[in-house]
Amino acid sequence: MSAGAANLIELDLAESSLRAVNQTLQRHNGKGEDGHYRILRPNGAHALACGLDAPLTVEIAGHAGYYCAGMNQAARVTIAGNAGPGVAENMMSGVVRVQGDASQYAGASGHGGLLVIEGNASSRCGISMKGIDIVVLGDVGHMSAFMAQAGRLVVLGDVGSDFGDSIYEAVLYVRGRVASLGADCIEKDMQDEHRNDLADLLRLAGIEAETGEFRRYGSARQLYHFKTDHAGAY
Amino acid sequence: MCGIAGLYLKNRALERQLGALFAPMLIELSDRGPDSAGVAVYHDPIDEDGLKLTLYHPDPAFDWDGLTEFLEEEAQLSAEIQPIASHAVLISDGDEASLRPVIEGYDPELQIMSLGRVIEIYKEVGLPAEVCARFGIGSLQGSHAIGHTRMATESAVTTAGSHPFSTGLDLCLVHNGSLSNHNWLRAQIERRFGIHCRTENDTEVAAAYLTAKLLDGLSLHQALEAAIGDLDGFYTFCVGTGAGFAVLRDPIACKPAVLAETADWVAMASEYRALTGLPGVERAKVWEPQPATVYSWGAAA
């Protein structure tokens, strides 16, 4: 561990174990303490900066492996590279920013907070999201927002096949082309309230884009209600 | 799970370091596959009219000189044998049709791991670091290498069930995933092309499928495009031929893969962490291969 400029603490994964680095960060958990850390030479390590519960600022100076910033609460984690599968999985609050691309199931089952992916996200982005907001500047892969329950997913690029399959009440905004919609996912009107909602979210993510260029998608609500008319089919 | 890795050198000046660059890639993937490991290395091509074979015998005391003598004196085939741990490289002027029955008839436990002009395959049960040390993978030279760390799901933890699988001259394949229509395909390929799979392993069927397509006149790139329609199951493949290298993921693409490319090399691995020791990786183009998309280099197109 070495102190850099203005309270910045650098942790070098070539010198410290992953567990030691994560424990240094997690020592702040539950105490409401802030702090500024930079993790050097991450080299694709798994589970970096996981389980944080303090308003820390954490910079990861390179590519991260599986499950980076999982279960995040309150912390601001920035990955200066690509993220492996499951980045910000089950996030509760805080901000996770990926400056490169994200692999499969980014932001899966997240309850809150904001995930910004500056590059592309691959398949299953926002699967089972439960309140998290996700903004992707590039494209997202197939089966994104599968069974998405709550929260918002914004995609500035294109979307792969079966978008929003079996979606519940999450809201999806897309600027590019959607390859195909999944079961029970439909395009909906883009009204002023939605443009305002999207503008707020883009501002929060630090992104400039014309809200009028986006389309909105959501649930047709035909799949998740049990209908007594169909009782015989069950 | 399983880990797979491949390294294809574009800059020939790096060929002396192939093993030194590749062994750490495979060892980094040990916790994805601690059961067994294997490497196919492409190096030291032999003359057009000869054949290079990698042989395996489970008995560490197996008498390789006895086999040389038998091939030369009984079968009237030239034989130059270089033993390496449980394996040996045999160079002969015979062809597959003359060599295979003689070798398999000599000792039922003797197995042919690879056949071709360029390829050699080394694979064994054990941790990847142990397997690499046993065969001196770190000091091998060559143009490209493909390797696998195995966590067995479809068949037993044995040397024969380890990857890479080779079913045709200089072709080999490693696989992360599991195929679901391999029994049906195995029968089809055997009936139509006479290609006989030697294990119960699903991956060997994928290798046999590619061999069949190449025999049909397709390029490796075309054969892999056909595989997207014909193979059912989960897969990320890394495939090598004498002068080609290719990667394919199934349309669902659950099994991970990362590709990286510089002016000097192309590398693939299950995870980015396996690539961190490669020269110039900081400036490499790094990306996740798209589902159902064939990526190929060299003579694969």
Mean pLDDT by 10 residues, chain B (301 residues): 95 98 98 96 92 96 96 94 97 94 94 96 96 97 97 84 90 94 94 89 93 94 97 97 96 96 98 97 96 92 55
pLDDT, tens digit, for every residue of A131-190?
A: 999 999 999 999 999 999 999 999 999 999 999 999 999 999 999 999 999 999 999 999
Rounded to the nearest angstrom, the minimum Cα separation between A126 and chain B is: 15
A103 lies within 8 A of chain B by CB = yes
Together in a domain, B107 and B23: no
Among chain B residues, the shortest Cα distance to A162 is held by B252
pLDDT band at A120 (very low <50, low <70, confident <90, very high): very high
Report the alpha-carbon distance of residue A118 to residue A111 in Å, rounded: 21
Together in a domain, B51 and B37: no
Give the ipTM.
0.91
Together in a domain, B257 and B108: no
Look at residue B146 in the predicted model and tell me its pLDDT: 98
Report yes or no on B131 lying in a domain.
no
Report the alpha-carbon distance of residue A57 to residue A38 in Å, rounded: 8
Measured in Å, how far apart are chain A's first and last C-alpha atoms?
60
Residues composing chain B: 301
B281 lies within 8 A of chain A by CB = no
Chain A residues with CB under 8 Å of B253 CB are: 104, 122-123, 141-142
Q: For residue A157, what are its two tokens?
A: 């690029």
Residues A184, A189, A195: CA angle, nearest 5 degrees: 120
Of A63, A141, A142, which has the smallest distance from its Cβ to B272's Cβ? A63
Look at residue B155 in the predicted model and tell me its pLDDT: 77
State the virtual CA torsion across B6, B10, B11, B16 in degrees, nearest 10.
30
Look at residue B301 in the predicted model and tell me its pLDDT: 55
A95 CB-contact burial (10 Å; exposed 0-12 / middle 13-18 / buried 19+): buried
Together in a domain, B187 and B89: no
Question: How many alpha carbons lie under 13 Å from residue B66 in its C-beta half-sphere?
Answer: 6
Together in a domain, B147 and B201: yes
Report the alpha-carbon distance of residue A52 to residue A48 in Å, rounded: 10
Report yes or no on B224 lying in a domain.
yes
Report yes or no on B122 lying in a domain.
no
Number of H helices, E strands in chain B: 7, 16
CB contact under 8 A, A104 and B253: yes
CB contact under 8 A, B273 and A65: yes
Q: For residue B232, what are its two tokens?
A: 């059912």
Which of B84, B117, B150 is the C-terminal boundary of a domain?
A: B117
B81 lies within 8 A of chain A by CB = no
Together in a domain, B86 and B154: no
Give catalytic residues of B, as residue numbers. Answer: 2
Together in a domain, B190 and B212: yes
Report the alpha-carbon distance of residue B105 to residue B108 in Å, rounded: 6
Q: What is the mean pLDDT of residues A181-207?
A: 97
Together in a domain, B109 and B257: no
Report the alpha-carbon distance of residue B167 to residue B162 in Å, rounded: 14
Together in a domain, B35 and B73: no
Report the alpha-carbon distance of residue B250 to residue B234 in Å, rounded: 6
Together in a domain, B172 and B38: yes
Report the alpha-carbon distance of residue B69 to residue B73 in Å, rounded: 6
Domain holding B99, by residue range, is 46-117
pLDDT band at A228 (very low <50, low <70, confident <90, very high): confident
The residue of B249, B272, B278, B287 whose CB has the most chain A CBs within 10 angstroms, and thus the best one to mutate to test that interface, is B272
pLDDT band at A233 (very low <50, low <70, confident <90, very high): low
Together in a domain, B152 and B255: yes
CATH classification of the domain holding B83 = 3.30.70.330
Report the alpha-carbon distance of residue B4 to residue B175 in Å, rounded: 7
Look at residue A234 in the predicted model and tell me its pLDDT: 58
pTM of the model: 0.94
Chain B residues with CB under 8 Å of A141 CB are: 253, 290-291
Report yes or no on B170 lying in a domain.
yes
Show Cβ contacts of residue A167 under 8 Å, excluding neighbours closer than 6 positions: A145, A146, A147, A148, A182, A184, A185, A218, A219
Report yes or no on B99 lying in a domain.
yes
Report yes or no on B65 lying in a domain.
yes
Chain B residues with CB under 8 Å of A85 CB are: 256
- Checking DSSP bridges between strand A2-3 and strand A8-12, what pairing results, if any? antiparallel
- Checking DSSP bridges between strand B144-150 and strand B119-125, what pairing results, if any? unpaired
Look at residue A5 in the predicted model and tell me its pLDDT: 47
Residues B89, B91, B94: CA angle, nearest 5 degrees: 135
Look at residue B252 in the predicted model and tell me its pLDDT: 95
Together in a domain, B85 and B62: yes
Residue B59 — φ and ψ, nearest 5°? Answer: -85, 115
Report yes or no on B203 lying in a domain.
yes
Domain count of the fold of chain B: 2
Class of domain A2-233: mainly beta
Q: Please tell me whether residue B48 adopts helix, strand or coil conformation.
A: coil
pLDDT, tens digit, for every residue of A37-72?
A: 999 999 999 999 999 999 999 999 999 999 999 999
Directed axis angle between helix B202-215 and helix B220-230, to 10°?
130
Chain B residues with CB under 8 Å of A43 CB are: 272-273, 276
Look at residue B156 in the predicted model and tell me its pLDDT: 84
Report yes or no on B244 lying in a domain.
yes
